[in-house]
């Protein structure tokens, strides 16, 4: 089936689905606004902490901002994960599969569209914070490594959640994996690599290495992270295909 036709037809279906659901509409609108929220919320918070406790939050701005591409990817992936649940429950996917559209075409559309959205929104949200001296290369590479997290979120919800209520519960469970990523920031190398089992670790590590001016190491970690994320995505794709074909 023609790729452009696939994107046009499925994109129209997704747009109507999001437009009908107020929760999904708000999630889409608020995702790029996280950058502005940090821009205006963190400086007053940092000033208050410094005055009251003598704690300098500004030294942790790079750590906080490094999580922004992950938040963007997670929000976008969650929105599409709920769309997958809806389309699976009302058998839209099954109906699509009796047309010239194959399951492979459908999944390729999902993955490519999600990664492009995540990449675009991350490249918009991070500069909006105005809190770090993020370079263009650092921004693009980090956003590229974070982008596969969006389809990973979506496929995880679509594969393991039975409905939206379960989807919300699983989305909260996924959020827990950010805790070891925060711990990783304070753990010295080479032990930090242990946290690499969590896909979220890799875009964070890339961001941190760029902050240390270790460009070469950042690019190596970017390749390693994309490879591991690709492996996780392949497993989830296999699982999702099994669920759809039941």
The string of pLDDT tens digits covering residues 93-152 is 767 667 677 777 788 888 888 899 899 999 989 999 988 888 999 999 999 999 999 999
Above 60 in pLDDT, residue 162? yes
Residues with Cβ < 8 Å from 189, sequence gap 6 or more?
none
Residue (of 210, 234, 233, 230) closest to 220 by Cα position: 210
CA distance 151 to 164: 17
CA distances from 31 to 47, 58, 66, 100, 197 (A): 26, 23, 15, 34, 26
Above 90 in pLDDT, residue 176? no
> What six digits make up the tokens of 10?
């499925």
> What six digits make up the tokens of 91?
């058998």
CA distances from 111 to 108, 214, 230 (A): 5, 30, 11
Residue (of 80, 70, 73, 56) closest to 159 by Cα position: 80
> Is the distance from CB of 195 to CB of 183 less than 8 angstroms?
yes
Q: Give SS3 for 79.
A: helix
Question: In the prediction, which pLDDT does 89 show?
Answer: 74
Q: How far apart are the first and last CA of the chain?
A: 24
Above 90 in pLDDT, residue 228? yes
Question: In the prediction, which pLDDT does 35 show?
Answer: 87
Above 70 in pLDDT, residue 227? yes
Above 70 in pLDDT, residue 245? yes
Question: In the prediction, which pLDDT does 24 show?
Answer: 65
Residue (of 33, 42, 71, 192) closest to 132 by Cα position: 42
Above 60 in pLDDT, residue 1? no
Q: Give SS3 for 220.
A: helix
Question: In the prediction, which pLDDT does 43 show?
Answer: 93
Residue (of 84, 35, 104) closest to 64 by Cα position: 35
pLDDT digits (tens, 9 = 90+) for 58-89: 999 999 999 999 999 998 898 888 888 887 77
Task: Enter the pTM of the model.
Answer: 0.88
> What six digits make up the tokens of 223?
């390749």
> Is the distance from CB of 117 to CB of 150 less than 8 angstroms?
yes
Distance of CA 170 to the CA centre of its chain: 15
CA distance 63 to 76: 21
Q: Which residue has the higher pLDDT, 232 or 165?
A: 232
> What six digits make up the tokens of 38?
């940090």
Above 60 in pLDDT, residue 33? yes
Average pLDDT, rounded, for the chain: 86
Residue (of 116, 13, 12, 129) closest to 68 by Cα position: 129
């Amino acid at each position: 089936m023609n790729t452009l036709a696939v994107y046009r037809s499925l994109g129209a279906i997704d747009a109507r689905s999001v437009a009908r659901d107020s929760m999904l509409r708000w999630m889409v609108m608020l995702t790029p606004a996280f950058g502005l929220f940090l821009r205006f919320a963190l400086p007053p918070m940092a000033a208050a902490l410094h005055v009251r406790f003598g704690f300098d939050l500004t030294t942790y701005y790079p750590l906080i901002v490094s999580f922004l591409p992950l938040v963007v990817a997670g929000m976008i992936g969650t929105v599409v994960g709920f769309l997958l649940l809806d389309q699976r429950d009302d058998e839209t996917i099954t109906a699509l599969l009796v047309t010239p559209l194959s399951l492979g075409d459908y999944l390729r559309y999902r993955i490519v569209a999600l990664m492009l959205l995540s990449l675009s929104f991350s490249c918009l949200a991070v500069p909006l914070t105005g809190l770090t001296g993020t370079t263009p290369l650092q921004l693009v590479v980090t956003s590229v490594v974070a982008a596969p997290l969006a389809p990973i979120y979506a496929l995880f919800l679509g594969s393991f959640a039975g409905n939206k209520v379960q989807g919300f519960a699983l989305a909260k469970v996924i959020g827990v994996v950010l805790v070891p990523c925060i711990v990783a920031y304070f753990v010295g190398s080479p032990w930090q690599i242990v946290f690499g089992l969590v896909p979220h670790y890799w875009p964070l590590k890339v961001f941190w290495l760029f902050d240390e001016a270790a460009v070469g190491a950042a690019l190596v970690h970017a390749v390693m992270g994309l490879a591991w994320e690709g492996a996780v995505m392949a497993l989830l794709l296999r699982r999702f295909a099994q669920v759809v074909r039941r």
